[in-house]
Amino acid sequence: MLKGYGMNRAFLLCALLGSLSAGSKAEAAGGAAAAGDTGSPSGELAHRAVVRASLWVGLPTLSRVSHTVNDDCSGLAYLAYRRRGLNLLPERTLPGEGGVAAIYRKARSLGALHQEEPHPGDLVFFRNTYDRNGDGRRNDGLTHIGVVERVDADGTVTFVHRAGGGVKRSKLNLSQPGVRRNEHGRVLNDYLRRPERVVRPRLAGQLCAGFATVDQRWFTTP
């Protein structure tokens, strides 16, 4: 068992793992409820995704949750929203297209992308979080995704993502994207890219590429 996991957390995680396994009557009923969702970012669908992602914080690998998805950031987003009839990925991916770019492309086609203050459950996208093409420069396109967990009064966003070392929480603040901590020492932006040759470390607010709301538009079956 992971250090710091209490009995209640372990019980909830076990229950969640059970809900992610092959469908049951409860899952079918949940799918029907989602199809009738109002589409509100604070609705049942988004809440369910936030609860799932939050429970996974601290896991070293997504294999503790599922062996059917990639153990990466797009895999976490996919699992958080996995439900009958809903798929974050488009039907086909393009040559050389990663999971993050594919989800972003689908969100754009659905009109789900936005640059406004997010709501819990929104997807958050980032560019150039690592040197995907190996040239040491910031020209790597869409490379990372997370699930918004909460938004504070000052606009600081806490999001859950699969990164190096496992599933974790990080922060970003688009009103002060280049500020690591405010005058009180509170973290506004976590680092998402380490220094590499000619590239300085970059904060989450500097690399944020926008948000997407997941709602009934994403369902492919009634």
Q: How far apart are CA 47 and CA 165, in angstroms?
A: 25
| Domain layout of the chain by residue ranges | 1-222
Quick check: 157 and 143 in contact, CB under 8 A? no
Q: Quote the pLDDT of residue 51.
A: 97
Which residues does 91 contact at the CB level (< 8 Å), separation at least 6? Answer: none
Whole-prediction pTM value?
0.80
Helix axes 7-20, 44-56, angle to 10 degrees: 120
Tell me the HSE value of 206 on the side-chain side, using a 13 A CA sphere: 16
Phi, psi angle pair for 9, to nearest 5°: -65, -40
Query: Under CATH, what is the fold of the domain 1-222?
Result: endopeptidase fold (from Nostoc punctiforme) (3.90.1720)
pLDDT digits (tens, 9 = 90+) for 89-144: 999 999 989 999 999 999 999 999 999 999 999 999 999 998 777 666 677 889 99
pLDDT digits (tens, 9 = 90+) for 208-218: 999 999 999 99
Calculate what percentage of the chain has a pLDDT beyond 70: 76
Amino acid of residue 115: Q
